[in-house]
Amino acid sequence: MIYQSLKEKQRQEREGLILQATQDLLLERGYYDTSMGEIAARVGVAKGTLYQHFESKEALMIALFKREFHDLQVAIEQIILMPVDAQVKLTAAIDALCQQIAEKHPLFFILRHTADLETELHVEVKDSFAAVRDNIATILDQGKDEGAFNPALPTEVMLEALFGIIVSRLFKTLHHGIKFEYEDLVGSLKCIYFHGITAAPAS
């Protein structure tokens, strides 16, 4: 049992190195110019060893993106459990989303422009993405119950606005290299979003 546990740990560590090398090469060369052979060489393993972990380049890419979405899912789940009001939770959730985009937007751009991956990956990560949306919806509903967010706005519309105003705009701004200080940009987008969903003061 000890031997099996050590073997599994080594396997997981190697897979982590493979995923990191894949990410580095994707950012350097792009999806179509990155080969399994180059990934194996970057990790320092035989190509056959790489195929023992991932049966194809597509499977490797899917594993990489699943890891990124899973990390975001875990971060939002931890925010849900914070003993604070909904506005603080939502601010933290938006910050987590924005940080992920800021750090990984070149990877997400590759995903959006790689037809070979987009459909299959959508199926693979949809549960994680749905969990992120559901948790943010829970925060929005909590805010309505607390009187902080406008109860007349459907939660689904508030979600779509969040991803449209903040996530989509931040992604486009970062990708096109528009010159903004990150903190100023995110702060401005949050200000616009919160202004739109905040409940009117009680008369």
Sorted by where each begins, the domain ranges of the chain are 1-55, 62-197
pLDDT at residue 8, rounded to an integer: 80
pLDDT at residue 1, rounded to an integer: 47
- Which whole number is the average pLDDT over 19-32? 87
pLDDT band at 75 (very low <50, low <70, confident <90, very high): very high
Fold of domain 1-55:
Arc Repressor Mutant, subunit A (1.10.10)
pLDDT at residue 160, rounded to an integer: 93
Give pLDDT tens digits for 117-139: 666 666 777 777 888 899 999 99
pTM of the predicted structure, to 2 decimals: 0.79
As a whole number of angstroms, the distance between CA 79 and CA 39 comes to 35
Give pLDDT tens digits for 31-63: 888 899 999 999 999 999 999 999 988 888 888
Whether the predicted pLDDT of 193 surpasses 70? yes
Identify the residue with better confidence: 60 or 152: 152
44: phi > 0 → left, psi -120 to 50 → alpha, else beta; which? left
Sign of CA dihedral 28, 32, 36, 41: negative
Domain 62-197 sits in CATH at: 1.10.357.10
Above pLDDT 90, what percent of the chain? Answer: 41
